[in-house]
């Protein structure tokens, strides 16, 4: 896993984890990387400094950044959730199979979200299927 600092065209900066640099490139090229603040898909890697952590400062990593209050974080997550739900199809527990079928060209490609067991998600990533975990739990849709 690799953590990148990203920025959008409006200069919003945020961090995100990816399986590899190649996985980021694939997701970005497919338009699946969006700004955590405004939802823009015009996102690129920002200049990053190496991560060096002192043992005594370890607890500091659990606190929000000084320039990012909990309210800003909550607003960004809400905006991301709205963007995902507005621009993707909810496939529920069929996520792993749908993602694999699209990757293999068996069904048309489209933006989807849903749930996958950890072993299913790990297998998708190992097989090079471009997926990423969402920082929220999708709302369950009732019949």
Of residues 2, 73, 88, the one with CA closest to residue 41: 88
Distance CA 101, CA 91 (A): 13
Domain check: are 76 and 31 in the same one?
A: yes
Q: What is the CA radius of gyration of the chain?
A: 16
Summarize pLDDT for 4-46 with one digit per residue, the tens.
888 989 888 888 888 888 888 888 888 888 887 888 888 888 8
pLDDT of 21 reads: 84
CB atoms within 10 A of CB 113: 20
Looking at the structure, do residues 32 and 74 belong to the same domain, yes or no? Answer: yes
- The mean-pLDDT minimum among 12-16, 59-63, 94-98, 118-122 falls in 59-63
Domain of residue 34 covers 1-47+70-82
Is 59 a member of any domain?
no
- Classify residue 113: in a domain, yes or no: yes
Asked whether residue 53 is domain-assigned, the answer is no
Same domain, 104 and 75: no
Beta-carbon contacts of residue 96 (< 8 Å; ≥ 6 apart)? 116, 117, 120, 121, 123, 124
Residue 143's pLDDT band (cuts 50, 70, 90): very low
The 3-state secondary structure of 14-61 reads: EEEEECCHHHHHHHHHCCCCCCCCCCCCCEEECCCCCCCCCHHHHHHH
Domain total for the chain?
2
Evaluate whether 4 touches 24 at the Cβ level (below 8 Å): yes
pTM over 0.85: no
For 74-115, the pLDDT digits (tens) are: 888 888 888 888 899 999 999 999 999 999 999 999 999 999
CA distance 43 to 34: 6
Residues 8 and 38 in one domain: yes
- Residue 59 to residue 28: CA distance in whole angstroms: 32
Report residue 55's pLDDT band, with 50, 70 and 90 as the boundaries.
Answer: low
């Amino acid at each position: 896993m690799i953590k990148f600092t990203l920025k959008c065209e409006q200069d919003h900066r945020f961090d995100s984890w990816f399986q590899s640099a190649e996985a980021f490139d694939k997701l970005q090229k497919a338009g699946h990387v969006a700004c955590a603040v405004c939802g823009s898909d015009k996102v690129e890697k920002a200049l990053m400094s190496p991560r060096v952590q002192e043992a005594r400062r370890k607890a500091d990593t659990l606190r929000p950044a000084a320039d990012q209050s909990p309210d800003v974080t909550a607003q960004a997550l809400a905006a991301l959730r709205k963007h995902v739900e507005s621009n993707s199809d909810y496939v529920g527990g069929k996520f792993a199979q749908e993602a694999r079928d699209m990757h293999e060209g068996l069904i048309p490609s489209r933006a989807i979200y849903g749930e996958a067991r950890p072993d299913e998600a790990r297998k998708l990533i190992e097989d090079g299927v471009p997926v990423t975990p969402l920082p929220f739990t999708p709302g369950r849709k009732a019949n």
